[in-house]
Amino acid sequence: MNEGIRVPQVRLVDEEGEQVGIKGRDEALEYAYSKNFDLVEVAADADPPVCRVMDYGKYKYEQEQKAKVARKHQSQVHVKEIKLRPKIGEHDYKTKKGHVIRFLKDRAKVKVTIMFRGREQTHPERGESLLLRLAEDVSDLAQVESAPLQDGRNMVMMLGPRKNPVSGGGRGDKDDAAADKATGGDGEERQQDA
């Protein structure tokens, strides 16, 4: 940019994007300064290098804004981990399942790990059946991305959120009934029509 350009000749492009022609470096700098702009090298590999007359501060700001918008629309994938034991109690299982459901609703992937200790390692089928049960229980929200896999003392399964979650079966009927009560009896008329 400006004095940092060291080549003797440049192909000059003005602020409108029109070709001015091949100019000496000093002449190109004078042209840019006369218009209150910067001379910026945009194609160093060309022969001679292409330099453009522009407001570099404004250009840099616009590039940062574009990058910010691109980051905003980019979705980041978070991986949460839940650890279970093969001999987990029913209430503890429901609590852990609730955590998995919450993570999936937040659009995060869930790594479910079952930790085996001692003689529990001789019965990996217990851990696998527990993982498959969990996958079945959350199948309306999640899909299995990697099946249960033994990894030393642990067994790991990866669950990912579904693109379009399947709605719960009986839940919609209750919501409709509540909406009908709130509207003051419109639901009764719909029932008679149906």
116 CB-near residues (< 8 Å, 6+ apart): 86, 124, 127, 153, 154, 155
54 CA to centre of own chain: 35
User: Which amino acid, residue 10?
Assistant: V
Question: Can you tell me the distance from the alpha carbon of 112 to that of 1, in angstroms, rounded to the nearest whole number?
Answer: 53
Q: pLDDT means per 10 residues in the chain (194 residues)? A: 72 77 78 78 76 80 84 77 88 90 87 88 87 88 85 87 63 43 43 42
pLDDT at position 167 is 55
Domains of the chain and any CATH numbers: 2-71 (3.10.20.80), 79-161 (3.30.110.10)
pLDDT at position 4 is 66
186-193 vs 171-183: helix crossing angle, rounded to 10: 120
Question: Can you tell me the distance from the alpha carbon of 192 to that of 194, in angstroms, rounded to the nearest whole number?
Answer: 5
pLDDT at position 140 is 87
pLDDT at position 1 is 67
Question: Can you tell me the distance from the alpha carbon of 102 to that of 6, in angstroms, rounded to the nearest whole number?
Answer: 59
pLDDT at position 87 is 87
